[in-house]
Chain A
Amino acid sequence: MTDQEIIGLIDSSLQEEFELEAKIMTPEASFYDDLGLDSLDVVDMVIVLEAAFGFKIREEEAIRSIRTLGDLHAFVIAKKRKLEGTA
């Protein structure tokens, strides 16, 4: 997957799960303030992303420091690349 494909899949998965409009899905968008998500939604976000990408991220410490959609894009891209490197 290219970085753009990964970003596309993250955004479409979150849009479907949380009924988010495409126009607010910018890298700068904050999960809490701009996307209106809360700590319970993060539980569901992890499940959705694990299903979309076929990896496990639930125990990763780095998730806790994610604040914006751009942070999430970077986190997932890094995870994918790391898994590709070990494959």
Chain B
Amino acid sequence: MLHRVAITGFGIVSCLGTTPAEVGAGLRQGRSGIGIDAERVRLGFRSPLTGVIRDFDVAATLPKKARKSMPDFAVQAYAAARDAIAMADLGEELLANDDTGLIFGVDSSCLAAIEQVDALRRLGETVSLGSGLIFRSMTSTVTMNLNTLFKTRGACWSISSACSSGGHAIGQAADLIALGRQERVICGGAQEINWESMCSFDGLGAFSTRIAQPAAASRPFDKDRDGLVPGGGAAAVVLERYDLAQARGATILGEVCGYAFSSDGNHLSVPSVGGLQRAMRGALKAAALAPGDIDYLCAHATSTPAGDAAEAENIAAVFGPQGVPVSALKALTGHELWMSGASQVVYTAIMAQQGFVARSVNFETPDAASAQLNIITATLERPPRHVLCNSAGFGGTNACLALRFGG
């Protein structure tokens, strides 16, 4: 028998804010978190646009001894997970046991890898590099560090699948609980924001160059979109076996009622029509829901011409023309890459808690593909109830999560 999976806590450090109140206000008001990093222009980037995290003090979050093995995005993941754990009201005894685990989606720790090489070239001997860089530079840096900080003793690993990493992390966490292999998992995604990790991506010509209007640069599904804006931070969710959460009197915020994955088996960077569609159908089936039951679809849509068009075709194939209300939150946040599949779950949970569905900002004119969609252009004053969250990554790896809110 499969267990039901409850969402009992969430936390986030994003360019929209670091508290549910702040992030919810940003989503409701359509406040952009995108800005300019002037250094990127000097360095030869095509685009200086980036998500900008304000008001997060890395040094005030953890002592120096803990931080020396953590890049900034791991400290942000700690803060998001700490807030999620506090919201779920998980005490020490519910964390420090074999049935509590950690799974995060992360696909780089580029800056630390560069720092160690630069330092070796400068110092001329490995023994002067210090003890922290090896732990900072590994892709599993988030889960290895958080495991020592929270004292969890179950699952402890990171998933790398490009821009669907966070989606698969939450999906796999839900699966482990559904199968009875873990009772609760702190899961999510984290993404470094720095020019070093983005330079070769910028070189692909995938980023928006609407530099004069940063807030209008990321425009998913709009006919005049010209590329994505990279962003990042960290998002965390506490998932628990539903019956156990209920028995301990936890507030059930929502439920992960389906997860499915698929891959395109096609092109490195061009998404297929078919791949994401199979993930969406799989998630609906796993949740025992019909397309008509879904009242909100949180799209992956990153504002690239090819990616958004493929997703629009895939959504239309599953739901039919105008079949489901859709919005793309990356208009405000930019593309949070490895984190984005997880941040969509947190953003949706915040909207469920605050009773609205955010509009798809910057969507003004449809193209042939997006004209098939029911894209939300004015904030819906009702909470999402049955939701699909899409994410998709380079190599054609797709994740779809079905969520239920409101009991």
Contact = CB atoms under 8 A, between A and B. Distances in A.
B124 interface: no
A44 B127 contact: no
Interface string B228-262: 00000000000000000000000000000000000
B68 interface: yes
B64 interface: yes
A43 B130 contact: yes
Contact of B131 (A19, A36, A40, A58): A40
B64 A44 contact: no
A19 B64 contact: yes
A44 B69 CA distance: 12
B121 interface: no
Interface in A29-61: 36, 40-41, 43-44, 46-47, 58
Contacts of A17: 64
Interface residues of B, number: 10
B131 A44 contact: yes
Contacts of A36: 65
Contact of B65 (A19, A46, A47): A19
Contacts of A40: 69, 131-132
Q: How large is the interface on A (under 10, 10 to 19, 20 to 34, 35 or more residues)?
A: 10 to 19
A70 B42 CA distance: 52
A18 interface: yes
Contacts of B127: 43, 46-47, 58
B65 A41 contact: yes
Contacts of A19: 63-65
Contact of B68 (A44, A46, A58): A44
A17 B128 CA distance: 15
A30 B355 CA distance: 55
Nearest to B68: A44
A42 B68 CA distance: 13
A2 to B, nearest CB: 28
B59 to A, nearest CB: 10
Nearest to B127: A58
A47 B132 CA distance: 12
B275 to A, nearest CB: 43
B69 to A, nearest CB: 8
Contacts of A43: 127, 130-131
Contacts of B68: 44
Contact of A18 (B65, B69, B130): B65
Nearest to A16: B64
B122 to A, nearest CB: 14
Contacts of B65: 18-19, 36, 41
Contacts of A47: 127-128, 130
Contacts of A18: 64-65
B76 to A, nearest CB: 20
A19 B127 CA distance: 22
A58 B132 CA distance: 17
A19 B64 CA distance: 7
Contacts of B128: 47
Given A36-B65, A43-B131, A44-B132, 12 more contacts: A17-B64, A18-B64, A19-B63, A19-B64, A40-B132, A41-B131, A44-B68, A44-B131, A46-B127, A47-B128, A47-B130, A58-B127
Interface of A: 17-19, 36, 40-41, 43-44, 46-47, 58
Interface of B: 63-65, 68-69, 127-128, 130-132
